[in-house]
Amino acid sequence: MSAPHDRLDPKTHASILSKEVIPESRLDEFLSHERPKAIILAGQPGAGKGSLADAAKIELTNDVVKIDPDALREYHPTS
């Protein structure tokens, strides 16, 4: 969890989200906008979340957007 001093102000957060995160997510390439589904995985490191995510991707014929907090950290200016 980030410390309060690492929090982005709303303007910076919105700018990074709209200029970097969303364009790189390729959301416009996916078909499931009309009837979206969400699969939320949580667990200890090594619990098998990655394997479950891969299986879900296959089941949903690759029409998925994976939101990984670890991957999003690279967009934070202090990382």
For the chain, give every domain's residue range. Answer: 7-75
pLDDT at site 48: 92
Does the pLDDT of residue 1 top 50, yes or no? no
Sign of the Cα torsion 58, 20, 16, 31 reads negative
pLDDT at site 4: 63
- Cβ neighbours for 25, distance < 8 A, ≥ 6 positions apart: 65
